[in-house]
Amino acid sequence: MPPSNPPRSRIRWLEVAVPAHAEAVEAVSEILSRFGHNGIAVELPIDSRGGTDHTVKAYLVEDAEAFAKVSDVRDALGHLQAFGLGPIGELAVRSIDDADWLEAWKASVTPIRIGAFFVRPTWSDARDDGAVTLTLDPGMAFGTGLHPTTQQCLEALSQLRLEGVRVLDVGTGSGILAIAAAKRGAREIVAVDTDPLAVRAATENARGNDLSVDVRAGSAADVDGTFDVVLANLVGPVLVQIAADLRARVRTSGSLVAAGITAQAEPEVLHAFTAQGLGVIDRAERADWVRLILTA
Ligand code: SAH
């Protein structure tokens, strides 16, 4: 007989699934990632015959606001179609429990090589001997290595000189960037996130990689001192909002890696950083996402 009361700690989730044509996947993912709880999953067709044969999924905690969020997602998808950026199919919502969510998530996370790094989930024993392996349990935090903005930061971390340097990772999520920096020889790494779930996930992931990362709840303003490299894979408006705090953490001639910037938000973000005396030394763009490296 099933228990009459599920354990209190059990979180229920809403899975929001949107069928999309390959060309619409990026735009749908961007919308879902604005509403979903840290991360989206994209299911690819085994044998693509065109049409809306990809599925983009996001997970929302089933709380009082969840249904309003689903309605916002519907509106945003409607706008997408109105701009001719579809074709997308009918949004489907279902309620699932933690265990199902984890299984669905696990099936969607596959090992991936990005720059100098090979990112694999904890349940995989895949190897790439030529790369620096990062083993991650994405848990409930964003940062599986699949999102283009994370990839852009990992590419930057493949190029930057990290041996012996101090690194601050603002918005660490799963801890992926902090762990990558540590694996490439950074000496002292502080990682912060405003989301307690991320703090927990990053702490566990660092431990799982046998690394010591100082993970704390908070943001750039809650950290003292300066760093050789500051990482900030956030979103445009947040980068603008905390530009001064980020600047304050970068030591003279240190680097700030800023990502999560849409091409549309780039001028405003650039303006905020230049006003703080930061100058761009490198720029990369992929699928409408811009990653900047700036120096103080
Ligand atoms: N660094 C990871 C995760 C990026 S997602 C990666 O590159 O994949 C962005 C993270 O920033 C989320 O975990 C979110 O909780 C956190 N975040 C959002 N606003 C923030 C802020 N103002 N300060 C610190 N963290 C923030």
Summarised one tens digit per residue, pLDDT across range 240-272 is 999 999 999 999 999 999 999 999 999 999 999
Q: Which of 140, 172, 246, 269 to mutate to test the pocket of ligand 1 (most atoms within 8 A of CB)?
A: 172
Look up residue 130 and give its two tokens: 């030529």
Distances (CA, A) of 259 to 23, 72, 224, 274: 22, 25, 22, 16
Asked whether 222 and 249 are in contact (CB, 8 A), the reply is no
What is the average pLDDT across 106-128?
84
Phi first, then psi: give them for residue 219, nearest 5 degrees.
Answer: -135, -170
Give tens-digit pLDDT for 153-174: 999 999 999 999 999 999 999 8
Residue nearest atom 11 in ligand 1 by C-alpha distance: 171
pLDDT score for 124: 84
Give tens-digit pLDDT for 45-92: 766 667 888 899 888 888 888 888 898 899 889 888 877 766 898 899
Looking at residue 224, its amino acid is D
The torsion region of residue 115 among left (phi > 0), alpha (psi -120 to 50) and beta comes to left
Look up residue 212 and give its two tokens: 């010591």
Give tens-digit pLDDT for 200-218: 889 999 999 999 899 999 9
- In short, whether 177's Cβ falls inside 6 Å of ligand 1 is yes
What is the average pLDDT across 97-108?
67
Distances (CA, A) of 192 to 67, 201, 242, 245: 30, 12, 13, 13
Q: What is the rounded (10 degree) CA torsion for 258, 262, 171, 118?
A: -80
